[in-house]
C-alpha cells in the first residue's frame, strides 16, 4: 500500500462524509481494516514495500533535477533548496503542515480522542506518522499502554539532572536528562554486538518508543524540581500520554489535559528541514542512536529563532503588559512593536522560513482559546497582535512572512491554565517533537538512508565559480 494514497483516500472519504453523513461509516470501515495488527507488525509488513518503492524511485528517476542551486541559497541558509527525504509530514507554504497527507483539522476529525469530540491523542498521531494509517481507538489504547509500560526512568537520570544548578535553563536540564537516558540504548548495544544493517530499524524502534515513553517523566521531573520544590507526581495508569504529561506536571483540569493532547499533537512534526528535525536526522545518519540524535535535536530546538520562541513570546507579552497594562490599546501595541524592532530584536512568534500564511497550528490554538478562554485578557492581546504586527513587519520591506507561527499562541493557553513559567515552554515543544523525529528516524533506518554529507565551499570558491 502506498502511504499518501491511504491518506488521500481518507481525506476524500472525510470530505464526502461531511457532505453526506451516511458516508461516515466508510471512514470507520477504512480504520477497521487496520485494527488487527500491532504497530511493530504493521511496520514489518510495510517496510519491504517502501524499500522497493525507494529502490524503484532511485533507479527510474535518480537523475531527474529538482531545481537549481543558487549562490543565494548557499548564503541564505539553504532556503528553498530541496535536499532531504522526510516521509512523515510535508509543509505547504500556503496551507501549512500535513501529517501523512492529513491536515490538522483532518487529524482533529479522524484521530481517536480521549472523549467524544475531544482533541486527538498524540499516540494516534505517532501511529499515523509511522504507518500512514489512521489507527482505531483500540490500537491507540494499546499503544498508550505500551508507552506506560516503557515509562520507567533509571535513577541515575535524576541524579544527573540534580547535578545541574536548579536555575540551569530547563532545556539544558531536559537535554542532559535525555543524554543520561542514552545508556539504555538497544541500538548501541546491538551495534556493539554486531547487527546486520537490514535489522537496524528494530532496535531503533525499541529505543524510539522507550524514549518517547520516558520523555514526559524526565520533562515533568525538571518542572517539579525547578518550580515545585522537587515534589514529583507519579504517572496515573488510567491516563493517556498527553493527559498523563499534564498530570505529572501537576495539572488535573480536564481542559488542560485536552490542551496538552492538542499541544503534543500539533508540535510533533514539521517536515524535515526545521532545525530540530534536520539536526536529529543528520546526527542519526551517522548511525548515532535515537537518544543521541534526539538530544542533539533538542539543542537546536533550544535556540530563540526556533523552539525557544515560545518562551520569548510569553516573556515579550508580559513585558508589554508590564509597560502598557493588560488592556493595551492598538496604538500603544504598535509603538511597542516598533520599539522592539528598533532595538534590533525580532518580534517573536511571527515569520517563518517556509510558511507564507498564518500557521494552521496558530489557528487551531486560537480556536481552542475561543472555545475555552474567550475572555482571557492575554488571549485578547494575542488577537490584537494578529492585527497589529503583520502590517508593521510588511512595512520593514524584508520580512517574507509577516504572519504568526505556532509559538505566537501557545504561551497564553498554558499561562491561562497555570503553567506560567515561560522558560519551561520549550521543553513541552521538545517532548512533542520527539514523536516526529523518532518516527522518521525509524524509517531512515528501515530505508537504509545514507550518511548525510553535503558539499561546502568557501567564498573564494564561489567568487571564482561566478567569474567563470
Ligand atoms: N521580526 C523582525 N524581523 C523579522 C521577523 C520578525 N518576526 N521575521 C523575519 N525578520 C527579518 C529577518 O530577521 C531578516 O532580517 P535580516 O535580513 O536583517 O537578517 C529578514 O526579516 C528576512 O527574514 P525572512 O526571510 O523573512 O525569515 P527567515 O526565514 O530568515 O527566518 C524566522 C525565519 C522564523 C527565524 C524569523 O521569521 C524570525 O526570526 N521570527 C521570530 C522568531 C520566531 O518566531 N521563531 C519561531 C519559528 C517557529 N518555530 O517554532 O521554530
Ligand atoms: C517547526 O515547527 O519546526 C517550526 O515551525 C520551524 C520550521 O518549520 O522551520
> From atom 45 of ligand 1, which residue's Cα is the shortest distance away?
305
Residue 248: how many other CB atoms lie within 10 Å: 22
pLDDT, one tens digit per residue, over 397-448 is: 999 999 999 999 999 999 999 999 999 999 999 999 999 999 999 999 999 9
Percent of the chain, pLDDT > 70? 92
> From atom 27 of ligand 1, which residue's Cα is the shortest distance away?
353
27 has a pLDDT exceeding 80: no
| Ligand 1 midpoint to CA 404 (Å) | 11
The values of phi and psi at residue 113, to 5°, are -120, 165
**Distance, CA of 402 to CA of 386 (rounded, Å):** 10
> From atom 47 of ligand 1, which residue's Cα is the shortest distance away?
306
Q: In the structure, which protein residues have their CB atom closer than 6 angstroms to any atom of ligand 2? A: 270, 274, 306, 353-354, 405-406
Quote the DSSP letter at residue 141. Answer: H
CA atoms within 13 A on the CB side of 363: 12
pLDDT of residue 83: 97
Label residue 41 by pLDDT band (50, 70, 90).
very high
pLDDT, one tens digit per residue, over 201-229 is: 999 999 999 999 999 999 999 999 999 99
| Ligand 2 midpoint to CA 300 (Å) | 11
Tell which residue, 85, 451, 76, has the closest CA to residue 272.
85
Q: Is 278 a residue of the active site?
A: no
State mean pLDDT over 18-25: 40
Q: Residue 189 corresponds to which cell in the numbers above?
A: 548495544
The residue from 269, 289, 407, 444 that is catalytic is 407
State mean pLDDT over 277-305: 98
pLDDT, one tens digit per residue, over 355-404 is: 999 999 999 999 999 999 999 999 999 999 999 999 999 999 999 999 99
Q: What angle do CA 33, 148, 159 make, to 5 degrees?
A: 150
pLDDT, one tens digit per residue, over 242-255 is: 999 999 999 999 99
State mean pLDDT over 229-241: 98
13 has a pLDDT exceeding 70: no
The best mutation among 405, 408, 436 to test binding of ligand 2, ranked by most ligand atoms within 8 Å of the C-beta, falls on 405
Q: In the structure, which protein residues have their CB atom closer than 6 angstroms to any atom of ligand 1? A: 79, 305-307, 309, 341, 346-353, 393, 398-401, 405-407
pLDDT, one tens digit per residue, over 75-121 is: 999 999 999 999 999 999 999 999 999 999 999 999 999 999 999 99
- Nearest atom of ligand 1 to the alpha carbon of 351: 37
| Ligand 1 midpoint to CA 346 (Å) | 7
Helix axes 201-227, 241-249, angle to 10 degrees: 30
> From atom 9 of ligand 1, which residue's Cα is the shortest distance away?
399
Residues 6+ apart with CB under 8 A from 468: none
User: What is the distance in angstroms between the CA of the first residue and the CA of the last residue of the chain?
Assistant: 49
Q: Are 120 and 265 in contact (CB under 8 A)?
A: yes
pLDDT, one tens digit per residue, over 130-178 is: 999 999 999 999 999 999 999 999 999 999 999 999 999 999 999 999 9
Q: Is 306 a residue of the active site?
A: yes
- Nearest atom of ligand 2 to the alpha carbon of 359: 5
**Distance, CA of 338 to CA of 380 (rounded, Å):** 20
21 has a pLDDT exceeding 70: no
**Distance, CA of 41 to CA of 139 (rounded, Å):** 12
14 has a pLDDT exceeding 90: no
Label residue 468 by pLDDT band (50, 70, 90).
confident
Q: Residue 440 corresponds to which cell in the numbers above?
A: 522518521
> From atom 9 of ligand 2, which residue's Cα is the shortest distance away?
274
The most distant pair of C-alpha atoms in the chain lies apart, rounded to whole Å, by: 68
| Ligand 1 midpoint to CA 351 (Å) | 5
**Residue, of 343 and 11, whose pLDDT is higher:** 343
4 has a pLDDT exceeding 80: no
Please state, in angstroms and as integers, the Cα–Cα distance from residue 42 to each residue in 46, 131, 190, 286, following that order. Answer: 6, 7, 22, 26
Helix axes 309-324, 407-416, angle to 10 degrees: 70
**DSSP string covering 147-184, please?**
HHHT----HHHHHHHHTS-TTS-HHHHHHHHHHHHGGG
Q: Is 352 a residue of the active site?
A: yes
Strand, coil or helix: 116: coil
> From atom 6 of ligand 2, which residue's Cα is the shortest distance away?
274
The residue from 247, 267, 270, 306 that is catalytic is 306
> From atom 17 of ligand 1, which residue's Cα is the shortest distance away?
398
Q: Which ligand is nearest to the CA of 278?
A: 2
**Distance, CA of 358 to CA of 406 (rounded, Å):** 9
Q: Which ligand is nearest to the CA of 86?
A: 2
Q: Residue 430 corresponds to which cell in the numbers above?
A: 521538545
Q: Which ligand is nearest to the CA of 352?
A: 1
Q: Which ligand is nearest to the CA of 437?
A: 2
Region of 348 (left: φ > 0; alpha: ψ -120 to 50; beta: rest) is: beta
| Ligand 2 midpoint to CA 305 (Å) | 10
Amino acid at each position: 500500500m502506498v502511504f499518501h494514497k491511504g491518506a488521500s483516500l481518507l481525506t476524500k472519504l472525510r470530505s464526502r462524509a461531511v457532505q453526506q453523513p451516511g458516508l461516515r461509516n466508510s471512514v470507520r470501515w477504512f480504520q477497521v481494516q487496520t485494527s488487527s495488527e500491532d504497530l511493530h507488525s504493521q511496520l514489518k509488513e510495510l517496510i519491504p514495500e517502501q524499500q522497493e518503492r525507494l529502490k524503484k524511485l532511485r533507479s527510474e528517476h535518480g537523475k531527474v533535477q529538482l531545481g537549481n542551486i543558487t549562490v543565494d541559497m548557499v548564503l541564505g541558509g539553504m532556503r528553498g533548496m530541496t535536499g532531504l527525504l522526510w516521509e512523515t509530514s510535508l509543509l505547504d507554504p500556503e496551507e501549512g503542515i500535513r501529517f501523512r497527507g492529513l491536515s490538522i483539522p483532518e487529524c482533529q476529525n479522524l484521530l481517536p480522542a480521549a472523549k467524544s469530540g475531544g482533541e486527538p491523542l498524540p499516540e494516534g498521531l505517532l501511529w499515523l506518522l509511522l504507518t500512514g494509517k489512521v489507527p482505531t481507538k483500540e490500537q491507540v489504547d494499546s499503544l498508550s499502554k505500551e508507552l506506560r509500560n516503557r515509562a520507567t526512568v533509571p535513577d541515575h537520570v535524576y541524579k544527573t539532572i540534580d547535578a545541574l544548578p536548579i536555575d540551569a535553563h530547563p532545556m539544558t536540564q531536559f537535554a542532559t536528562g535525555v543524554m543520561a537516558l542514552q545508556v539504555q540504548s538497544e541500538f548501541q548495544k546491538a551495534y556493539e554486538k554486531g547487527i546486520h544493517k537490514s535489522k537496524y530499524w528494530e532496535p531503533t524502534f525499541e529505543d524510539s518508543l522507550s524514549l518517547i515513553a520516558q520523555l514526559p517523566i524526565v520533562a515533568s521531573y525538571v518542572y517539579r524540581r525547578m518550580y515545585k520544590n522537587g515534589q514529583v507526581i507519579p504517572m496515573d495508569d488510567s491516563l493517556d500520554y498527553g493527559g498523563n504529561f499534564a498530570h505529572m506536571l501537576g495539572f488535573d483540569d480536564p481542559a488542560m489535559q485536552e490542551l496538552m493532547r492538542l499541544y503534543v499533537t500539533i508540535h510533533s512534526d514539521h517536515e524535515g528541514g526545521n532545525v530540530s528535525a534536520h539536526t536529529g536526522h543528520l546526527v542519526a545518519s551517522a548511525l548515532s542512536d535515537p537518544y543521541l540524535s534526539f538530544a542533539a535535536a533538542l539543542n537546536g530546538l533550544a535556540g530563540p529563532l526556533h523552539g525557544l520562541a515560545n518562551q520569548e513570546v510569553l516573556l515579550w507579552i508580559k513585558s508589554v503588559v508590564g509597560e502598557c497594562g493588560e488592556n493595551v490599546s492598538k496604538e500603544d501595541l504598535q509603538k511597542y512593536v516598533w520599539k522592539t524592532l528598533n532595538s534590533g530584536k525580532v518580534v517573536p512568534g511571527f515569520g517563518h522560513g517556509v510558511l507564507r500564511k498564518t500557521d494552521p497550528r496558530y489557528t487551531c490554538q486560537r480556536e481552542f482559546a475561543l472555545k475555552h478562554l474567550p475572555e482571557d485578557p492575554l488571549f485578547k492581546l494575542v488577537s490584537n497582535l494578529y492585527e497589529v504586527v503583520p502590517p508593521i513587519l510588511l512595512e520593514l520591506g524584508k520580512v517574507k512572512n509577516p504572519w504568526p507561527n505556532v509559538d505566537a499562541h501557545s504561551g497564553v493557553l498554558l499561562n491561562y491554565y497555570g503553567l506560567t513559567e515561560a522558560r519551561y515552554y520549550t521543553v513541552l515543544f521538545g517532548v512533542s517533537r520527539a514523536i516526529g523525529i523518532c518516527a522518521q528516524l525509524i524509517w531512515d533506518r528501515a530505508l537504509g538512508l545514507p550518511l548525510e554529507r553535503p558539499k561546502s565551499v568557501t567564498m573564494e570558491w564561489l567568487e571564482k565559480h561566478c567569474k567563470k
